[in-house]
């Protein structure tokens, strides 16, 4: 099938009307149906520029329909700013009838001063379709184009679009005079320059001739910054770019409208063009810049101060809430009630704040650390009253309510202990997750430091060692029997025996201690302590008694005698456990071979034999066979007294008060057959008078 659309264009010079008809009489129709009629178009006499722009409004069918000139071509829209007119084009058809014969129906259109817009598309729809169009441009005729569409069946055609199956399309050559939907138009056949010299030139006022148009005639357009009908005098009105937001100013407030344009006014104190692009922008004047810098700096400083203040306020509030939480959690209220309800005259445990202890230790500086152990770290601190103290920070551990109650009870009791050989508990701090304990400061380190350090052990003579053992035994005896509630230390070892500058012993570190209820002799507990010092019976039965401390003290006596540590895997296997090896050597008569070489002995004094025999009794496996701590203290007091009487030079000027103390405090006792201890009136006491002396080897 062949479909042919013939488009014929006739170029003619339009007759011109008078210049005073540019706007038309005031009674001209401005619309027909939905289409606005604007000059140079018009529907009545004197309302249009020339007959080519005549619009006929057909009202015969009820709804007004605008027609192009006096033809049946319907106008659907018209534009003066683009010089375009949209019409309803005819459709050419070539269809088969029932007998199979094709019926061709083409169309043609003759236009004056109107050209086909290049925006149009020529479209053919159907299977087996050969469509083309032709026309002429200027003096050139038979200019055309076309396309071919084939397909097997009509069902392949897609309605509403041209996908390439059952349809085809081709662009319309620019300037071709033919039947289109969109028409380009211009005024007359004179160019802009030629028309300017005539009396009816339409581009006046704020409109100008379109220099970009190169077709026949001329076109008008509103100047930049104006809009409206450029073919009507004074119809191009100023566009307010500021109100419409189509300006290039940095801010809307800076935009100021002018006729046909706008300016960007910088605010007070600034100069420049104030445009985003293509301009210098607004630059602050020197004085303004200084004010801005000062203002910003002041605001920033104020904001920084405020934020910092708010941060510290919130942080302080959080810390206060956290301290209050820990204080209650650690039994602080309970401790305060116990202290306030106790009317006794002895020293009370002081409850320190966390700030007090931070100041005392320079915020727990590492240089203040004086010891570390299994239960925590000990710091040296100076309180506000210049007292030097030792502050113990325990390691983190979960605590039950029962444990907290027991801890508070221990703090109260330990703070009431006033024994010259027990480190004084001054108070505690409950504002941390794990409570801090504050003790009196003992300056000369631990017993372990002195007997296991080659540089210090020679200064610890045998006489000093006996005195340290005696003072330690007295302290443990006091804890077991003289305290308001009996206390089992549970971790007796040289590390927990402190020495002052005069080598006076101070029992310390009650982190593992247990209070013994008055109605109980034994406590079932989880085994705690240090390997090498643990009571073997306690290790097997979990039954903690006062005799457990006696066993540990026996190991301390052996360390004082031998200068060796309680447990060492660097020694031969049979010597690893010091207590077992010592008992074996004592039984085999080789005591002299295991004694500390720093004692510088040529033979074994009787006091060493007595102390060794006492250590053997303390180290017995069965707790019932061990002496009580009170009995141990009495025997050591007797040994020390005999040494003082035999060697008066033992007392030097620094220890005279201690010798006097021992002589004054020494009460004479004797051991009865049932194992108890009773006072005697004798002025001397021989602690070994009722025991046989083991044979001793004569040399190393």
State how far the Cα of 431 lies from the Cα of 622, in Å rounded to an integer.
44
pLDDT surpasses 60 at 666: no
Alpha-helix residue ranges (DSSP H) falling in 203-276: 241-244
Quick one: average pLDDT of 100-104? Answer: 67
Q: Which residue has the higher pLDDT, 61 or 37?
A: 37
State how far the Cα of 182 lies from the Cα of 88, in Å rounded to an integer.
9
Q: Are residues 453 and 423 part of one domain?
A: no
Domain stops at, among 406, 423, 441: 441
Burial of 124 (0-12, 13-18, 19+ CB in 10 A): buried
664 assigned binding-site residue:
no
143: helix, strand or coil: strand
What's the chain's Rg over C-alpha atoms? 59
pLDDT band of 635, cuts 50, 70, 90? very high
Q: Are residues 661 and 623 part of one domain?
A: yes
State how far the Cα of 422 lies from the Cα of 438, in Å rounded to an integer.
14
Residues whose CB falls within 8 Å of the CB of residue 71, separated by 6 or more in sequence, listed in order: none
User: Within a 10 A sphere around the Cβ of 130, how many other Cβ atoms?
Assistant: 17
Q: What is the Cβ-side half-sphere exposure of residue 621, based on CA atoms within 13 angstroms?
A: 4
pLDDT surpasses 70 at 523: no
pLDDT band of 652, cuts 50, 70, 90? very low
pLDDT band of 654, cuts 50, 70, 90? very low
Q: Which CATH number characterizes residue 385's domain? A: 3.30.200.20
406-409 CB contacts, 8 Å cutoff, 24+ apart: 406/515, 407/330, 407/331, 407/435, 408/331, 408/334, 408/335, 408/338, 409/338, 409/515
Q: Note whether 677 and 670 are within 8 A (CB).
A: yes
Quick one: average pLDDT of 240-256? Answer: 85
Q: Which residue has the higher pLDDT, 471 or 63?
A: 471
Phi-psi region of 175 (alpha: psi -120 to 50; beta: other; left: phi over 0): left
Residues whose CB falls within 8 Å of the CB of residue 641, separated by 6 or more in sequence, listed in order: 662, 663, 666, 685
Q: Are residues 563 and 454 part of one domain?
A: yes
Retrieve residue 646's tokens: 């035999």
pLDDT surpasses 50 at 668: no
Q: Are residues 505 and 543 part of one domain?
A: yes
User: Within a 10 A sphere around the Cβ of 696, how many other Cβ atoms?
Assistant: 15
Residue 381 maps to a domain: yes
Q: Are residues 75 and 21 part of one domain?
A: yes
Q: Note whether 478 and 425 are within 8 A (CB).
A: no
Quick one: average pLDDT of 46-54? Answer: 87
Q: Note whether 85 and 66 are within 8 A (CB).
A: no
Q: Which residue has the higher pLDDT, 27 or 501?
A: 501
Residue 697 has what pLDDT?
Answer: 33
E strand or H helix that includes residue 586:
helix 578-587
Domain stops at, among 167, 185, 203: 185
Q: Are residues 547 and 529 part of one domain?
A: yes
Instruction: Pick from 238-252, 342-356, 422-436, 571-585 the range whose average pLDDT is largest.
Output: 571-585
Angle between helices 629-646 and 546-562 (to 10 degrees): 30
Residue 189 has what pLDDT?
Answer: 85
Active-site residue, from 184, 491, 535, 549: 491
Q: Which residue has the higher pLDDT, 302 or 677?
A: 302
Of the listed ranges 180-194, 341-355, 482-496, the one predicted with least confidence: 341-355
Q: Are residues 486 and 376 part of one domain?
A: no
Q: Which of 650, 475, 610, 483 is nearest to 549 (CA)?
A: 475
Q: Which residue has the higher pLDDT, 279 or 619?
A: 619
pLDDT band of 427, cuts 50, 70, 90? confident
Residue 106 has what pLDDT?
Answer: 67
Q: Are residues 362 and 488 part of one domain?
A: no
pLDDT band of 43, cuts 50, 70, 90? confident
Residue 538 has what pLDDT?
Answer: 87
CA dihedral 291, 292, 294, 300 (to 10 degrees): 160
Q: Are residues 538 and 466 part of one domain?
A: yes
Q: Which of 462, 466, 467 is nearest to 603 (CA)?
A: 462
Residue 523 CA: distances (Å) to CA of 409, 413, 629: 17, 18, 18
Quick one: average pLDDT of 256-280? Answer: 80
Backbone phi and psi for residue 82, each to the nearest 5 degrees, phi listed first: -110, -5
> Residue 491 catalytic?
yes
Residue 452 maps to a domain: yes
Quote the mean pLDDT of the chain: 78
368: helix, strand or coil: helix
DSSP string, 620-677: -SSGGGSPPHHHHHHHHHHHHHHHHHH-GGG--GGGHHHHHHHHHH---EEE-TTS-E
Burial state string for 516-532 with b = 16 or more CB within 10 A and e = fewer than 16 = beeeeebbeeeebbbeb
pLDDT band of 473, cuts 50, 70, 90? very high
Retrieve residue 16's tokens: 């011109």
For 312-326, write each residue's pLDDT tens digit.
Answer: 998 888 878 877 777
Total number of domains in the chain: 3
For 362-378, write each residue's pLDDT tens digit.
Answer: 999 999 998 876 667 88
451-459 CB contacts, 8 Å cutoff, 24+ apart: 451/494, 451/559, 451/560, 451/563, 451/596, 452/494, 452/559, 452/563, 452/564, 452/565, 454/598, 457/563, 457/596, 457/598, 458/598, 458/600
Residue 247 maps to a domain: no
Domain stops at, among 441, 459, 493: 441
Quick one: average pLDDT of 8-35? Answer: 54
For 177-199, write each residue's pLDDT tens digit.
Answer: 574 478 888 888 888 888 888 88
CA dihedral 506, 510, 513, 516 (to 10 degrees): 70
Q: Which CATH number characterizes residue 557's domain? A: 1.10.510.10
Q: Which domain holds residue 348?
A: 330-441
Q: Which of 121, 128, 124 is nearest to 106 (CA)?
A: 124
Q: Are residues 103 and 47 part of one domain?
A: yes
């Amino acid at each position: 099938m062949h479909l042919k659309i013939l488009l014929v264009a006739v170029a003619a010079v339009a007759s011109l009307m008078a210049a005073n008809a540019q706007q038309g009489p005031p009674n001209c129709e401005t619309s027909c149906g939905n289409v606005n009629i604007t000059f140079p178009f018009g529907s009545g006499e004197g309302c249009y520029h020339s007959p080519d722009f005549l619009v006929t409004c057909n009202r015969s069918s009820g709804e007004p329909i605008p027609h192009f000139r006096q033809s049946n071509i319907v106008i659907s829209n018209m534009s003066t700013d683009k010089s375009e007119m949209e019409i309803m084009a005819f459709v050419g058809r070539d269809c088969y009838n029932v007998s199979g014969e094709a019926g061709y129906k083409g169309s043609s259109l003759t236009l004056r001063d109107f050209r086909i817009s290049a925006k149009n598309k020529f479209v053919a729809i159907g299977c087996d379709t050969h469509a083309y169009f032709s026309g002429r441009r200027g003096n050139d005729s038979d200019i055309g184009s076309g396309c071919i569409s084939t397909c097997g069946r009509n069902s392949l055609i897609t309605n509403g679009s041209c996908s390439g199956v059952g349809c085809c399309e081709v662009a319309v050559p620019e300037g071709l005079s033919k039947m289109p939907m969109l028409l380009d138009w211009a005024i007359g056949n004179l160019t802009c320059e030629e028309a300017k010299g005539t009396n009816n030139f339409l581009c006046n006022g704020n409109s100008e001739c379109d220099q970009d148009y190169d077709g026949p005639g001329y076109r008008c357009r509103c100047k930049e910054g104006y809009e409206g009908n450029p073919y009507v005098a004074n119809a191009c009105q100023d566009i307010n770019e500021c109100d419409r937001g189509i300006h290039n100013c940095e801010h809307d407030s800076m935009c100021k409208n002018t006729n046909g344009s706008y300016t960007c006014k910088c605010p007070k104190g600034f100069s420049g063009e104030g445009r985003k692009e293509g301009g210098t922008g607004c630059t602050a004047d020197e004085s303004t810049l200084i004010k801005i810098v000062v203002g910003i700096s002041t605001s920033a400083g104020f904001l920084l101060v405020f934020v910092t203040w708010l941060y510290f306020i919130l942080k302080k509030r959080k810390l206060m809430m956290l301290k209050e939480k820990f204080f209650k959690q650690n039994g602080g209220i309970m401790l305060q009630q116990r202290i306030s309800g106790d009317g006794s005259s002895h020293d009370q445990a002081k409850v320190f704040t966390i700030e007090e202890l931070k100041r005392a230790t320079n915020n727990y500086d590492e240089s203040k650390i004086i010891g570390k152990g299994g239960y925590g770290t000990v710091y040296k601190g100076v309180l506000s009253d210049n007292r030097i103290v030792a502050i113990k920070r325990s390691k983190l551990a979960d605590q039950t309510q029962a444990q907290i109650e027991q801890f508070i009870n221990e703090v109260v009791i330990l703070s009431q202990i006033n024994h010259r050989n027990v480190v004084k508990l001054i108070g505690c701090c409950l504002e941390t997750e794990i409570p801090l304990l504050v003790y009196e400061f003992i300056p000369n380190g631990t017993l372990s430091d002195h007997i296991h350090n080659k540089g210090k052990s020679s200064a610890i003579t045998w006489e000093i060692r006996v005195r340290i053992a005696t003072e330690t035994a007295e302290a443990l005896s006091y804890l077991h029997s003289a305290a308001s509630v009996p206390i089992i230390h549970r971790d007796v070892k040289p590390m927990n025996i402190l020495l002052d500058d005069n080598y006076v012993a101070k029992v310390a570190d009650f982190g593992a201690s247990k209070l013994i209820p008055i109605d109980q002799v034994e406590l079932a507990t989880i085994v705690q302590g240090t390997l090498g010092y643990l009571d073997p019976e306690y290790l097997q039965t979990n039954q903690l008694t006062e005799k457990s401390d006696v066993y540990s003290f026996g190991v301390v006596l052996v360390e004082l005698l031998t200068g060796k540590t309680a447990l060492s895997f660097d020694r031969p296997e049979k010597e690893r456990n010091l207590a077992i090896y010592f008992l074996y050597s004592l039984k085999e008569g080789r005591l002299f071979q295991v004694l500390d070489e720093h004692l510088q002995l040529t033979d074994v004094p009787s006091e060493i034999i007595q102390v060794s025999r006492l250590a053997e009794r303390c180290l017995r496996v069965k707790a019932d066979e061990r002496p009580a701590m009170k009995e141990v203290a009495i025997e050591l007091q007797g040994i020390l007294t005999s040494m003082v009487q035999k060697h008066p030079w033992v007392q030097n000027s620094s220890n005279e008060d201690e010798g006097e103390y021992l002589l004054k405090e020494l009460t004479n006792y004797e051991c009865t057959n049932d194992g108890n201890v009773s006072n005697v009136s004798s002025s001397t006491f021989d602690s070994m008078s009722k025991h046989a002396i083991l044979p001793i080897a004569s040399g190393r």
